[in-house]
Amino acid sequence: MPLPQAAPPTPPARPIAPKARIYAMLDTDKDGVASRHDYFVRIERAQRATGRTDDDPLVIAAHATGERAWAAMDANNDGVITYEEYAAWVDAEKFDTVCRYALGALFDLADTDRTGALDRRQFTVLRQALGNPADNADAAFDALDGDGDGRIGRKEYLAAIRAYVTGDESPMGDALY
Ligand SMILES: [Ca+2]
Ligand SMILES: [Ca+2]
Ligand SMILES: [Ca+2]
């Protein structure tokens, strides 16, 4: 019996594996495929939510790092990243050379008082821009604020995502879903 024609590969409906969870997050409109529009709408949302102008240096930086990350991930330049494309691409080295800059730039957009850390309100704005569920924003904040000082530092945020992507123990799993 012939195999059915390949539909676009999609992660499980309730993804458990870190890469599948992150991919589900990249698919902002939840149609099963992460498109260029899905990816960049997150920057636009973060910009709008923080009242930043188009010529804000942090907005420009977010677009620049976003373009670099997108170009690296969408290797065949067709405007979409399939789950298989993403899962095969991302690893610790890609995180250190590509992802951390795009994620850090989004973090900086949300850090409106420029302290290098996000308070609960700023973190919630960032999560909403990134397309994470809003209903567990408080639990996510508590999971990432390991020292309980009411702030999530830029380094601890990026380290948590890195550990999550590379399969180490990370509070990010609780923070995403
Ligand atoms: Ca999509
Ligand atoms: Ca592609
Ligand atoms: Ca903290």
**Per-residue pLDDT averaged across 69-86, rounded?**
94
pLDDT in tens, 97-108: 999 999 999 999
Burial code (b: 16+ CB inside 10 Å, e: under 16) for 110-139 equals: bbbeeeebbbbebbbbbbbbbbbeeebbee
Contacts of 8 (CB under 8 A, 6+ apart): 32, 33, 82
Q: How far away, in angstroms, is 23 Cα from ligand 1 center? A: 10
Q: How far away, in angstroms, is 132 Cα from ligand 2 center? A: 23
pLDDT in tens, 130-145: 888 778 888 889 989 9
- Surrounding ion ligand 3 within 5 Å at CB are 145, 147, 149, 151
Q: Which domains does the chain have, with CATH numbers?
A: 18-176 (1.10.238.10)
Q: Is 43's pLDDT higher than 70?
A: yes
Which candidate, 102, 100, 106, places its Cα nearest to that of 49? 106
